[in-house]
Amino acid sequence: MTDEQLMSLVKSGQLDYLNELFSRFSKRIYNYFLKSTMEKADSDDLTQELFIRVMKYRNSYKEGHSVQFWIFQIARNMIKDHFRKMKIHKDQFNPVEVMPERLEDRDEQLIEQEMKLHRAMKKLPDEKRELLVLSKFQGLKYEQIAKMRDTTVSNIKVQVHRTIKELKEVYFELSEDE
């Protein structure tokens, strides 16, 4: 069953199908929130809240539209609300431990590179970090991101290109500092 078919059933009041949508999207949504907030507890809370909103606002879903896009639009709005409420700026983030489940399965150099990438991402402004999270980590298409941000696809492509260039510079600055 497609995401859209499941959402149609949820919209019609068959809320048991929300469990399947949760199974399909919860990990990606959690990771989106984690990369955006850099806080595990906040990410857990936001993920739960998102699916409560999906249930509560299920009637706002438009039949035939992408469920993934609709869910990520809700998530994006929640992140904006979260930062507005918390009045958090990027320099106030607490670092998240990015460690593999089993260290012996990972090469130490790869672990160091991942942690350095995490620190570099943390130094990006919120809007730029969100752009990378949506496009590179969550796999949303530029068309979807452009629609979310109410801009053109070419503008998004330019922003992503510039943000990756900036991330690269920050990443290598961290290498020089070490």
User: Do residues 95 and 122 make contact, with C-beta atoms less than 8 angstroms apart?
Assistant: yes
**Which residue pairs, CB below 8 angstroms and at least 24 apart, start in 17-24?**
18/51, 18/54, 18/55, 21/51, 21/54, 21/67, 21/71, 22/51
* Residues 39, 108: Cα–Cα separation, whole Å: 24
**Which residue pairs, CB below 8 angstroms and at least 24 apart, start in 139-144?**
140/68, 140/69, 140/72, 144/66, 144/68, 144/69, 144/72
Q: Using one digit for the tens of pLDDT, what is the confidence trace for 52-91?
A: 999 999 999 999 899 999 999 999 999 988 887 776 444 4
Whether 2 has a pLDDT exceeding 70, the answer reads yes
DSSP 167: H
What is the reported pLDDT for 129?
Answer: 87
- Over residues 156-174, mean pLDDT: 90
* Residues 71, 97: Cα–Cα separation, whole Å: 26
Calculate ∠ Cα 155-76-149, nearest 5°.
20
User: Do residues 138 and 28 make contact, with C-beta atoms less than 8 angstroms apart?
Assistant: yes
pLDDT band at 28 (very low <50, low <70, confident <90, very high): very high
Whether 157 has a pLDDT exceeding 50, the answer reads yes
Does residue 80 sit in helix, strand or coil? Answer: helix
Q: Using one digit for the tens of pLDDT, what is the confidence trace for 97-156?
A: 444 455 455 567 777 777 888 888 888 888 888 888 888 888 888 998 998 888 999 999
* Residues 119, 113: Cα–Cα separation, whole Å: 10
